[in-house]
């Protein structure tokens, strides 16, 4: 599903990412841990094609990202990757339903996937929300800034999952939740990803979450640019 080889990215001549190899299989649920400054956000931006490495290769679904133009990368990302951001990145002036269906505005492929199995985008969005525990019809036309943090989080998950992208990248998605809500959120996320056979990459500095995952890696341990972080943790 995802293959990184001899990947190097530097910012102002400061090495941020130096990863010899990383392979992520289809349907895998992977937890990537690392403290602030270990390169988590940079790695996600490389996977999403937002950043381009100085050396090495990134292959996703058999497609080399380096062979794509900027506009092709945007299209590839919209078609195949759903993102759940730490701050959710919902559009505050749009309704709940409009936020969820927004990815299909940019991806004809994801829109076609939805309409192949559902009568409309809104109908599928409502079913996703129900699966995530939001069943109140009154919420659907509200602006998302009128929702609680937990409700906004579920909207962000539904948006990422609409159109069944092959990959979901979750960047610190539980940082605003207490322990009980974190547990419930991860269970729901796993259940929905398994239904659609979605590969999940979950990135967090909260190491207590990794026990929920079958696969987990420490970014400082595979990122040679973080050798000093590994040494500090050992001390």
Which pair of structure tokens corresponds to residue 172? 């610190």
Phi, psi of 52 (to 5 degrees): -115, 125
Per-residue pLDDT of the chain (235 residues; tens, 9 = 90+): 999 999 999 998 899 999 999 999 999 999 999 888 889 989 999 999 999 999 999 999 999 999 999 999 999 999 999 999 878 899 999 999 999 999 999 999 999 999 998 999 999 999 989 888 888 999 898 999 899 888 898 899 899 999 999 999 998 888 777 777 778 788 888 888 888 889 999 998 888 888 889 899 999 999 999 875 544 443 3
At the second CATH level, the architecture of 2-234 is: 3-Layer(aba) Sandwich (3.40)
Q: Taking a C-beta distance cutoff of 8 angstroms, is the pair 38, 223 a contact?
A: yes
Q: What is the pTM (predicted TM-score) of this model?
A: 0.88
- What's the Cα-to-Cα distance from 203 to each of 122, 125, 217, rounded to whole Å? 29, 25, 10
């Amino acid at each position: 599903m995802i293959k990184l080889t001899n990947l190097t990215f530097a910012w102002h001549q400061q090495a941020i990412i130096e990863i010899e190899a990383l392979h992520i299989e289809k349907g895998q649920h992977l937890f990537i841990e690392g403290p602030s400054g270990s390169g988590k956000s940079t790695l996600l931006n490389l996977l999403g094609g937002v950043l381009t490495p100085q050396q090495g290769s990134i292959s996703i679904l058999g497609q080399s990202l380096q062979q794509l133009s900027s506009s092709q990368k945007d299209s590839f990302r919209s078609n195949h990757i759903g993102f759940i951001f730490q701050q959710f990145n919902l559009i505050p002036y749009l309704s709940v339903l409009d936020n969820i269906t927004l990815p299909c505005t940019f991806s004809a492929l994801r829109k076609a996937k939805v309409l192949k199995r559902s009568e409309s985008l809104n109908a599928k969005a409502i079913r996703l929300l129900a699966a995530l525990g939001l069943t109140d019809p009154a919420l659907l036309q509200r602006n998302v800034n009128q929702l609680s943090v937990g409700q906004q989080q579920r909207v962000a998950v539904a948006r990422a999952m609409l159109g069944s992208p092959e990959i979901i990248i979750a960047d610190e998605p539980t940082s605003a939740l207490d322990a009980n809500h974190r547990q419930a959120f991860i269970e729901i996320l796993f259940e929905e990803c398994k239904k659609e056979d979605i590969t999940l990459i979950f990135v967090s500095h909260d190491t207590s979450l990794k026990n929920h995952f079958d696969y987990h890696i420490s970014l400082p341990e595979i990122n040679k640019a973080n050798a000093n972080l590994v040494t500090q943790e050992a001390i």
